[in-house]
């Protein structure tokens, strides 16, 4: 289920199982399109990081305790103005607002819990669907 | 047994760790890297570890988590842990996550090496 805040118009959709080579290939495809549309190195760095975090979260946390062969869905659309990527898992979802702030002194030594904050730091907009099993990343061209 | 994704050498009592890969993103690789460095820590009485990121273009929050785990293990043994040669874009990730406050980060491996003497 997607809602309006996480829908992407005219998106290309790909279903992925956890295969690192295929994941890397898909990310390279999206970033290749972004380069063709005029996005520069710092934009590419930011978007790669955010997509990596979203896909990792989907498999590691979204599907935690579920069948490891479950697939996730990645949708993307790239224009000269904006890169949009949505990642949806088949898990029950989570509440991103409930995540502890990983930058607080008491949380700095915890090894996990930074993925969502990095997505928010690097993307122009990050929206989750109400059930929290789908995230849409939007990166608007900086010019 | 997979091939190591690390180059490990010893310089004046300090273990220098460098990465083979330009991207430190893959969960399985990160797990293997953590285990390999953990073995170095466990073998040392007082571990002194320097990680150089000179070849690294990208890392993920999972890689940051691995560094934190390594840092925690070194602290448990009263050792020293320094990082060096971090690309400016990656350094920004450390700043955003405030992990630049947790880790001892140096511009060059030579500066980091000297810091072990302090």
- Digitized pLDDT (tens) for each residue of chain A, 143 residues in all: 557 799 999 999 999 999 999 999 999 999 999 999 999 999 999 999 999 999 999 999 999 999 999 999 999 999 999 999 999 999 999 999 999 999 999 999 999 999 999 999 999 999 999 999 999 999 999 98
Q: What is the rounded distance in angstroms from the CA atom of residue B37 to the CA atom of residue B45?
A: 14
Tell me how far apart the terminal alpha carbons of chain A are, to the nearest angstrom.
33
Question: Quick check: A53 contacting B, CB < 8 Å?
Answer: yes
Is B65 in Cβ contact with A52 (below 8 Å)? no
Centre a 10 Å sphere on the Cβ of residue B12 and count the other Cβ atoms it contains: 9
**What ipTM was assigned to the predicted interfaces of this complex?**
0.93
Beta strands, E only, B1-118: 6-11, 14-19, 23-24, 48-52, 58-59, 80-84, 104-106
Of A56, A111, A117, the CB nearest to B69: A111
What pLDDT digit, counting tens, does each position of B26-67 carry? 888 899 999 999 999 999 999 999 999 998 999 999 999 999
Backbone angles phi, psi at A130, to 5 degrees: -60, -35
Backbone angles phi, psi at A17, to 5 degrees: -95, 170
**């491996």: which residue's tokens?**
B109
Chain B: residue whose CA lies nearest to A23: B26
Lookup: tokens for A100: 């502890």
pTM metric for this prediction: 0.94
């Amino acid at each position: 289920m997607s809602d309006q805040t996480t829908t992407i118009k005219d998106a290309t959709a790909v279903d992925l199982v956890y295969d690192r080579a295929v994941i890397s290939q898909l990310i390279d495809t999206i970033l290749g399109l972004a380069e063709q549309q005029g996005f520069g190195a710092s934009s590419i760095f930011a978007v790669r990081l955010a997509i990596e975090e979203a896909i990792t979260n989907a498999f590691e946390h979204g599907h935690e305790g579920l069948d490891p062969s479950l697939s996730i869905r990645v949708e993307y659309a790239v224009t000269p103005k904006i890169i949009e990527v949505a990642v949806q898992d088949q898990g029950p979802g989570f509440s991103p607002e409930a995540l502890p702030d990983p930058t607080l002194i008491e949380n700095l030594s915890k090894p996990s819990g930074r993925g969502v904050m990095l997505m928010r730091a690097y993307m122009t907009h990050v929206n989750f669907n109400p059930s929290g099993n789908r995230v849409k990343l939007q990166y608007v061209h900086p010019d | 047994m997979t091939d190591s994704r690390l180059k490990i050498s010893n310089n004046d009592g300090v273990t220098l760790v460098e990465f083979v890969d330009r991207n430190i993103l893959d969960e399985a690789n990160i797990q293997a890297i953590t285990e390999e460095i953990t073995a170095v820590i466990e073998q040392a009485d007082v571990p002194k570890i320097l990680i150089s990121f000179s070849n690294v273009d990208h890392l993920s929050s999972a890689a940051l988590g691995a560094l934190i785990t390594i840092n925690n293990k070194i602290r448990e043994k009263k050792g020293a842990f320094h990082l060096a040669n971090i690309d400016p874009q990656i350094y920004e990730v450390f700043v955003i996550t405030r992990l630049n406050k947790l880790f001892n980060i140096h511009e060059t491996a030579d500066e980091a090496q000297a810091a072990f003497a302090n």
